[in-house]
Amino acid sequence: MIQIPKGCKDVLPSQAYAWQYVEAAARRAAEAYAFKEIRTPVFEHTELFSRGVGDTTDIVNKEMYTFLDKGGRSVTLRPEGTAGVARAFLEHGLAGGVLPFKAYYLISAFRYERPQAGRLREFHQFGCELYGAAGAFADAEVISLADAFLKNLGLCRVELRLNSIGCKHCRARYHEALKAYFAPHIGEMCEDCKVRFGKNPMRILDCKTEGCKRIAADAPRMLDYLCDDCRAHFEQVKTLLSEAGIAYTVDPSIVRGLDYYSRTVFEFVSDAAGAQGTVLGGGRYDTLLEQMDGKSVPAVGFAAGMERLLLVMEAENCLPPADTGAVCYLAGMDDASHAQAFLLAQQLRSAGISCETDLMGRSVKSQFKYADKTGARFVAVLGERELSEGAAEVKDLRASSSERVKFAELAEYIKRRM
């Protein structure tokens, strides 16, 4: 039998309610901050990601699903959402429109990774992008949106970690300091970090290998190298968060895995569900749009991993109870009443009540069992007598009561009792 590709997951109907719950919370949070949804293609020209995400990142070096299409063009399944949104923003000339531009997305993303709990090859993200605002208020607004989203889900064991990685001016000096620090340790570092040392030494701080982590623990901190402007920006972000009652810890080890970040970087981390604890990550990327088009537009945003969020929600017991079945099951005792049930079902549905009838040729007893198993609230039974009276025997399975209800009044009756 053909099986699902490694690193992918099916969401079965019995699990989809949890996804819909989190997606609805994401939309509500984004829309409360006046972000509007944006949808961009699942694949883009490969160059968008090598330029946008950056060619010193793991994503571009090791994780992209890249292939030639039938026209011989190199395309890549999006490994993240920001590059596509940035492209759309530039391509539609939105930089000349109303700013700030605020957009959110709910997408699937693809990375060729070693699959494990909370790390998949096809995964899903909720992300927000805010373009055009350079000041600390924008950083604080985006972090506050992320914080509200997670708090509304009822998560308690999620912590905000915050850092600044400066701008290209102050980072140059920091890179020198990092190189001087790491140089004597090169021999002990993993192969990837040996390359990172030459290309972008800050990336070593993001390495997940134990040996490299140990070496990185005592590395110089970017915070000690911030220029005056970057320092003032970071101080203001912290003040705004404190004033808004959003708790955070400054964590110098947070550098984020993508090249485009500058100044503020942050992660929301949970210890509730194992190793892949980062449920949401983001920051400021003032040079990304410039890198893609030459136009300089400041930007800040984040992306949350839906699978990790769902793991954490399960661990913290924050998931709502599973969906129940149809509100009303219409059971027919014979062919004539089954036909009537079929018609009544249509009327109830057009009144906004979900309902179903037998499609399996079952006995009334089995129909009741089915209604009970699927969690229907009401069962309306129709037989010869009910047809002649023009009324159904309606059982409220929750209240364990039963009443005769005229066909024409069925919808009203159910609505009243719900």
Contact residues for ligand ATP (CB under 6 A)?
80, 111, 113, 118-120, 123, 125, 257-258, 276, 278-281, 303, 305, 307-308
Q: Given the complex with Mg ion, which of 135 and 257 has the nearer CB atom?
A: 257
In the complex, least distance from residue 368 CB atom to ligand ATP, rounded to whole angstroms? 43
The SS3 call for residue 412 is: helix
In the complex, least distance from residue 184 CB atom to ligand ATP, rounded to whole angstroms? 27
- Give the CA angle between residues 5, 9, 11 to the nearest 5°: 140
In the complex, least distance from residue 210 CB atom to Mg ion, rounded to whole angstroms? 17
> Which does residue 307 bind out of Mg ion, ligand ATP, none, counting CB within 5 to 8 angstroms by kind?
ligand ATP
> Which does residue 326 bind out of ligand ATP, Mg ion, none, counting CB within 5 to 8 angstroms by kind?
none
| Separation of alpha carbons 132 and 119, rounded Å | 32
Q: Which residue is nearest to ligand ATP (CB)?
A: 305
| Separation of alpha carbons 81 and 87, rounded Å | 10
Q: Which residue is nearest to Mg ion (CB)?
A: 257
> Which does residue 382 bind out of ligand ATP, Mg ion, none, counting CB within 5 to 8 angstroms by kind?
none
- For Mg ion (CB under 5 A), the number of binding residues is 1
In which element (H, E) is residue 66 found? Answer: strand 65-68
Q: Given the complex with ligand ATP, which of 119 and 362 has the nearer CB atom?
A: 119
Q: According to CB under 5 A, which residues from 179 to 218 bind Mg ion?
A: none
The SS3 call for residue 133 is: coil
Cis amide leading into 41 (omega within 30):
no
Q: According to CB under 5 A, which residues from 237 to 266 bind Mg ion?
A: 257
**Cα 363 versus chain centre, distance:** 44
DSSP per residue over 290-331, as a string? HHHHS----EEEEEEEHHHHHHHHHHTT-PPPPP---SEEEE
In the complex, least distance from residue 240 CB atom to Mg ion, rounded to whole angstroms? 29
How many secondary structure helices (H) and strands (E) does the chain include? 15, 16
The SS3 call for residue 36 is: strand
Q: Given the complex with Mg ion, which of 257 and 375 has the nearer CB atom?
A: 257
Instruction: Report the chain's terminal Cα–Cα distance, integer Å.
Output: 45
In the complex, least distance from residue 120 CB atom to ligand ATP, rounded to whole angstroms? 4
> Which does residue 106 bind out of Mg ion, ligand ATP, none, counting CB within 5 to 8 angstroms by kind?
none
> Which does residue 308 bind out of ligand ATP, Mg ion, none, counting CB within 5 to 8 angstroms by kind?
ligand ATP
**Cα 192 versus chain centre, distance:** 28
Q: Given the complex with Mg ion, which of 7 and 257 has the nearer CB atom?
A: 257
Q: Given the complex with Mg ion, which of 115 and 257 has the nearer CB atom?
A: 257
In the complex, least distance from residue 221 CB atom to ligand ATP, rounded to whole angstroms? 19
Q: Which residue has the tokens 């002649």?
A: 388
- In Å, what is the CA distance from 206 to each residue of 196, 215, 391? 10, 12, 69
Q: Given the complex with Mg ion, which of 51 and 121 has the nearer CB atom?
A: 121
Q: Given the complex with Mg ion, which of 257 and 325 has the nearer CB atom?
A: 257
Binding interface with Mg ion (CB under 5 A): 257
